[in-house]
Structure 1
Amino acid sequence: MPEPAALKADCANCFGLCCVALTFTRSADFAIDKAAGDPCHNLQADFGCGIHDQLRPRGFPGCSVYDCFGAGQRISQSTFGGRSWRDEPGTARQMFAALPVMRQLHELLAYLTEARSLDAARELHEDLGAAIEETERLAASDPETLLTVDVGEQRGRVNELLLRTSELVRAAVPGKKKDRRGADLMGAKLKGADLRGANLRGAYLIAADLRGADLRLADLIGADFRDADLRGADLTGCLFLTQSQVNAARGDAATKLPPGLTRPAHW
């Protein structure tokens, strides 16, 4: 099974793939338009970002939110054996196409690894372990095979296990839990709300006021927290929250985060 560190971005061992492979659209997230395959003008010769410490003030908050889950360094150092798209331009198209596939597989591995660590889901540990091995096998494919992987099919199988994990964990919260899966909660006034054990999968919480809200043991997979106000909120033990979601939100020193997640510098 992959070590947790392998599912976190290590930009020093990546060929700046997210700065080249992805499309930028001039907006509140990006200060420029950039086509997929074109290097960002901030990308340096050593594959570092020339404005990494100033992304938000320079108009690139989208970059500060993006998380490859360690896919970038795996594509660079393992799938393509340390051969960069600059040194071997013939690898560029295939390398850039592989990034979103690997990112999705690593995202699934991150969720599965979290689920496998939860005591409340121990009856599923064997199945979760098997799913980790299968997803890891796909991620370890050669470039040609990787591009044929049906990520949607794999995500469907994994999602069934994650749903069952969520139900087992959230059962620890007494009473009826709120089910707001996929709900439009953009700008919702949820200050101080009791959302313990809630199902907020895929919910649109853009710019929602969640100050002081209790989100303990809530399922937050895929929830959109862009510009959500999490000051003083308690996310202890919440399920499937990613660093990317945290980076997209606003919080403060009083916001309680699960272990393994870092308080963003802009909080």
Structure 2
Amino acid sequence: MSDKYPDDSGRRRFVKGVVGGATLAGVGATGAAAINSATTSPGAGGGSTQAYAIENIAGPAPRGMPQIPLEIDSEGYLKGVWPEVKSVTQNGITVQIAETEDFKGSGVTYSSEWFQYCGVESYGGIQPDYDSDNYFVSGSNPGYAWQSEAYSEGDRLHVDDFSDYREWGNGVGQAGLGKPATGRWRSEDAEDVIPIQVIRSEEIMELAEEDPWIEASTQEGFVAWLNKCTHFCCVPKYKTEGSAKFNAENDVYCQCHQSVYDPYSIVQTLFTARPRPN
């Protein structure tokens, strides 16, 4: 699909669509998101899952990377929202699940199954009852120079440190599209790290005005996602060196196999989530 905005405009498309077919009945409750191609990976347990993601627009990745709804606390720190934890009975066995229906009135069911791929389903932090404050935390090797100057390892990301998001640039692509940070989520005292990436951008604010899900899952122009490429599980990066060769200098680029994601196109995906270990 071609972009209706010229390359030098700084605008990104927000893909919209209407999905037909009985197999996807009920998808698109907000009426304002497209559907990525469904994957058909085998497996049981997780099963067919609808999620929102930043769109995969090039390369071998089968779908986008799943979005993490976020909020800003009263002190300005960024945190991911975890679904409601509850007990359900399945085939006579009581299990815990993490799922929020009609997330903040958006009509979308938000579930931990969104993150059950690439082995993340076995991570401690993805278990429904994992004890976490859910803050986004800067890691020991931040993806951007500004982070190394602003944070020490383990510091929580704060809204004030993104105040220059309308001007920020790192010499890759167009400056002023948005300011990114890398970090981890629900990983403190856990064996495995859940990598995340966030961006603050005017683009996200505009999308939030158009769509109930974007309004519910973002705040003050911040959007976040689980930063694991859906191809071979590498960790991509927004505005990374070498991405211009693949026309991805203003996108999220995975250096492993050149998959490209558009962080300003939030789409709905259908895929087979892997089973979460008991």
TM-score by length of 1: 0.29
More helix by percentage? 1
Structure with more relative contact order (C-alpha pairs < 8 Å, separation 6 or more):
2
Q: Which structure has the bigger radius of gyration?
A: 1
